[in-house]
Structure 1
Amino acid sequence: MAADGAVQSVRRALGLLGCFGGGDASLGLSDLARRAGLSTSTTHRLARTLTGAGFLEQEPSTGRYRLGPSITELGQLSFHRRGLHRIAPELAELAKITSATVDLAVRNDRHAVILSGGSLNPDSGAGLRRPLHSTALGKVLLAWDPEAGAGLAALGPLRALTGRTIVDHDELRAELGRVRECGYALNDEESGDGVRTVAVPVLDRQNHVRYALAVRSTPQVIADARIGWFVAHARSCARALEILLIPPAERRLHPPA
């Protein structure tokens, strides 16, 4: 029983940290409690423990909480150990060629999490998580995941963000098959009106997806007749990212041209 209680406390503490994933710089105690689904007293106890360990810090003037230096330290370590500090020139070149927003993402549970690219705007207030089912990034991360097809039900209800969003699991499974067949994913105003995105995978030697690379603009810019052009440039960048991000022993031996 004591072990179960310890696991529950860890889950709740991690849940508190996850409350900051929506783009808020700081949150009050009541906001944290509401988002985490916990009582105020439990939230206060957990926040105090996390603050003592440096994972949260409390603003002296307002009493609000924000992510602490321990999170920053671990984030920087992970960023560099993944090799992400080396890819900015490649993403910038793709953005320059296409005149579009370029993002690189990985999967985290039910979301695609943007790690680098044009969507990392600290002033926008937008979080870095994107739904898997309604984005080109997410479709790529699902399509080349060997266990995704059988586990789509784990995504839960597929929320409609526009009239074009896929909300049926069987329809999503069929869409992922098409993505694998053609080698890229398309978000055609499924995540937001006026947004069109193409995305391609960064694959390892086992043909499993490590990252998803997306080019985002409007339907007028990424017109039907130019989708192939955008995909070709995205694939060229993805091949370069394989070299920069995947260890030699895990890279594809002969990436397709």
Structure 2
Amino acid sequence: MDDELDGKQGVQSLEIGMSILKAMVAGHRSMMLKDIAAAAGMSPPKVHRYLVSLIRAGLVEQDPLTSRYDIGQFALRIGLVAIDRLDRIRLGVAAISDLRDQLNQTVALAVWADRGPVIVRWERPRRPITVNVVTGVHLHLLNSAGGRVFGAFMPKAKIDPLLADELKTLTLPDAIRTRARAEAMLDEVRRTGIATISEGYFAEGVEAAAAPVFNFKGEISMALVVVGVQGTLDMGLDGPLIADLRHAATDLSARLGYAGGTAAVSPSGQ
């Protein structure tokens, strides 16, 4: 009775059942009993007993032809309800606030709009000299860190017309002035999962770094952007600022249901 009243106590059998479900989710496919047992670190007979109860609850189903187990209809309904109730902007605003506190730098949140990426929120650091970001400003793909992240990970059908227009109309540094050089830069963003820009930023005297945030479908949903006075940010990919930025983006992606663990290295929709 005391255990039931004590909020710190849990139901061990339920926790074991959930660990079996987690192993099945991590498998990304229907699984045989022995594979589930190996992934969960339990014996097959023990896992089988739990699977019987999970099937009765609708959380697991078994294919009678192959004997493989998979996620059940009720588990899928739970996931759909969770996604429907998810407020990505609210989570993004909390993430940039935490990152601002961690780095003491200006941090912004960008999302994709009709005409490309747009800043929807930013957080000011606690330092005497800061870079202000205008909420609602649209970002070009080639001369902003947030734009480069979207340019790297959005479907090519959406990106190609914008890239062609920017190459014609923007004053760009030699390193990205041609289509081939611009594509090479975006390939590097895809490879590293990070976009940095100092020379050629659309605002003079400013530099920035950005990381993509992915949703449960593996599609880019947002970008976290760190902005500072040119020459003040540690832009090294192995440096602490990029590590903190990458970690924040990875955590936020996980909260949005992305199962990749780290930033994806290939664009979606190609």
Q: TM class by shorter-chain length?
A: 0.5 to 0.7
Q: CA deviation at 1:106?
A: 1.4
Distance 1:192 1:87, change over 3 A: closer
* Residue of structure 2 in register with 1:136 after alignment: 145
1:75-154 paired onto structure 2 within 5 Å:
82-118=87-123, 127-147=136-156, 151-154=159-162
Distance 1:153 1:101, change over 3 A: same
Q: CA deviation at 1:138?
A: 0.7
Q: TM-score when scaled to structure 2?
A: 0.53
Q: CA deviation at 1:83?
A: 3.5
* Residue of structure 2 in register with 1:189 after alignment: 199
Contact 2:144 2:197 in 1 (8 A): yes
* Residue of structure 2 in register with 1:49 after alignment: none
* Residue of structure 1 in register with 2:22 after alignment: none
Q: CA deviation at 1:222?
A: 1.1
Q: CA deviation at 1:146?
A: 3.2
**Separation (CA, whole Å) in 1 of partners of 2:254 and 2:176:** 34
Contact 1:135 1:187 in 2 (8 A): yes
SS in 1 for 2:232: coil
Q: CA deviation at 1:182?
A: 1.3
Contact 1:198 1:230 in 2 (8 A): no
**Count of residues paired in the alignment:** 169
Distance 1:233 1:224, change over 3 A: closer
1:171 to 181, 196, 221: 181
For residues 138-163 of structure 1, give each alpha carbon's deviation from its aligned partner in whole angstroms, at most 9, with x where no partner exists.
11111112325x85244414333565
For residues 33-53 of structure 1, give each alpha carbon's deviation from its aligned partner in whole angstroms, at most 9, with x where no partner exists.
xxxxxxxxxxxxxxxxxxxxx
For residues 203-239 of structure 1, give each alpha carbon's deviation from its aligned partner in whole angstroms, at most 9, with x where no partner exists.
1344321111111112322135576321111122113
Q: TM-score when scaled to structure 1?
A: 0.55
* Residue of structure 2 in register with 1:219 after alignment: 230
**Separation (CA, whole Å) in 1 of partners of 2:183 and 2:133:** 33
Q: What stretches of structure 2 of length at least 5 have no aligned partner?
A: 1-84, 125-131, 264-270
**Separation (CA, whole Å) in 1 of partners of 2:254 and 2:190:** 22
Distance 1:165 1:103, change over 3 A: farther
**Separation (CA, whole Å) in 1 of partners of 2:86 and 2:216:** 20
Contact 1:203 1:242 in 2 (8 A): yes
Partner AA of 1:132 in structure 2: L
Contact 1:162 1:193 in 2 (8 A): no
Q: CA deviation at 1:124?
A: 8.0
Distance 1:166 1:252, change over 3 A: same
* Residue of structure 2 in register with 1:229 after alignment: 240
Partner AA of 2:122 in structure 1: G
Partner AA of 2:143 in structure 1: S
SS in 2 for 1:214: strand
1:11-26 paired onto structure 2 within 5 Å:
none
For residues 16-40 of structure 1, give each alpha carbon's deviation from its aligned partner in whole angstroms, at most 9, with x where no partner exists.
xxxxxxxxxxxxxxxxxxxxxxxxx
* Residue of structure 2 in register with 1:199 after alignment: 210
Q: What stretches of structure 1 of length at least 5 have no aligned partner?
A: 1-79
Q: CA deviation at 1:240?
A: 2.9
Q: CA deviation at 1:98?
A: 1.5
Counting aligned pairs with the same residue, the percent is: 25
